[in-house]
Amino acid sequence: MVELLGLILLSFFVTSFVLVPFIDLLFYLRSKSVQRSHVAAEAGSSTPIHDRLMKNDFFTPVGGGILIIPVVIALTISVFEFSGQPLTWPTFTIFFTMISFGVLGLVDDLKHIYTSNLGKFHGLSPRVIIILQIFLATIVATALYFEVGLNNIFIPVIGNVILGWIYIPLAVFAIVAFSNAYNISDGLDGLSTGLLTICLFAFLALAHSVFDQNLAIFVGIWVGALVAYLYFNVYPARVHLGDAGAFSFGATLAVIGLLTGKILGLAVIGGVYIVIILSSLLQILSKKIFKKKLLPVAPLHIYFRYIGWEEPKIVMRFWLAGAMLAIFGLWLALLSK
Non-local (6+) Cβ contacts of 316 within 8 A are none
Query: Per-residue confidence at 84, pLDDT binned at 50, 70, 90?
Result: confident
CA 77 to chain centre: 21
Q: Rounded to an integer, what distance in angstroms lies between the CA atom of residue 119 and that of residue 36?
A: 6
Residue in 250, 253, 270, 255 with CA at minimum distance from that of residue 332:
270
Query: Per-residue confidence at 43, pLDDT binned at 50, 70, 90?
Result: very low
Q: What is the CA radius of gyration of the chain?
A: 20
Q: Rounded to an integer, what distance in angstroms lies between the CA atom of residue 209 and that of residue 337?
A: 9
Q: Rounded to an integer, what distance in angstroms lies between the CA atom of residue 293 and that of residue 306?
A: 14
In total, how many domains does the chain have? 1
Q: Rounded to an integer, what distance in angstroms lies between the CA atom of residue 79 and that of residue 85?
A: 8
pLDDT at 325 over 70: yes
Single-letter residue type at 41:
A
**Model confidence, pTM:** 0.90
Per the prediction, the chain carries an average pLDDT of 87
Percent of the chain with pLDDT over 70: 87
Q: Rounded to an integer, what distance in angstroms lies between the CA atom of residue 125 and that of residue 120?
A: 14
Q: Rounded to an integer, what distance in angstroms lies between the CA atom of residue 99 and that of residue 131?
A: 17
* Alpha-carbon dihedral 323, 274, 196, 66, rounded to 10 degrees: -170
Q: Specify the pLDDT at position 165.
A: 92
How many CA atoms, within 13 angstroms, populate the side-chain half-sphere of residue 119? 0
pLDDT at 34 over 60: no
How much is the average pLDDT of 86-94? 93
Asked, for residue 325, whether it belongs to a domain, the answer is no
What are 297-324's pLDDT values in tens digits?
Answer: 889 999 999 999 999 999 999 999 999 9
Instruction: Between 89 and 155, name the one with better pLDDT.
Output: 89
How much is the average pLDDT of 221-246? 94
Burial 38-55 (b: 16+ CB within 10 A, else e): eebbeeeeeeebbeebee
Q: Specify the pLDDT at position 39.
A: 47
How many residues are present in the chain? 337
Q: Specify the pLDDT at position 56.
A: 54
What are 145-195's pLDDT values in tens digits?
Answer: 999 999 888 776 676 788 889 999 999 999 999 999 999 998 899 999 999
Asked, for residue 61, whether it belongs to a domain, the answer is yes
pLDDT at 90 over 90: yes
Q: Specify the pLDDT at position 40.
A: 46
Q: Specify the pLDDT at position 33.
A: 58
How much is the average pLDDT of 33-62? 55
Asked, for residue 293, whether it belongs to a domain, the answer is no
Asked, for residue 314, whether it belongs to a domain, the answer is no
Q: Specify the pLDDT at position 304.
A: 93
Give the single-character DSSP code of 159: E
How much is the average pLDDT of 84-100? 93
Under a CB-based contact definition with an 8 Å cutoff, are residues 263 and 203 in contact? no
Q: Rounded to an integer, what distance in angstroms lies between the CA atom of residue 307 and that of residue 113?
A: 31
What are 64-75's pLDDT values in tens digits?
Answer: 999 999 999 999
pLDDT at 269 over 60: yes
Q: Specify the pLDDT at position 143.
A: 97
How much is the average pLDDT of 57-66? 78
Domain that holds residue 94: 2-263
Query: Per-residue confidence at 277, pLDDT binned at 50, 70, 90?
Result: very high
Query: Per-residue confidence at 120, pLDDT binned at 50, 70, 90?
Result: low
Which segment of 30-34, 232-236, 237-241 scores lowest on mean pLDDT?
30-34
Asked, for residue 312, whether it belongs to a domain, the answer is no
Asked, for residue 17, whether it belongs to a domain, the answer is yes
Asked, for residue 104, whether it belongs to a domain, the answer is yes
Instruction: Between 200 and 63, name the one with better pLDDT.
Output: 200
Asked, for residue 205, whether it belongs to a domain, the answer is yes
Q: Specify the pLDDT at position 42.
A: 46
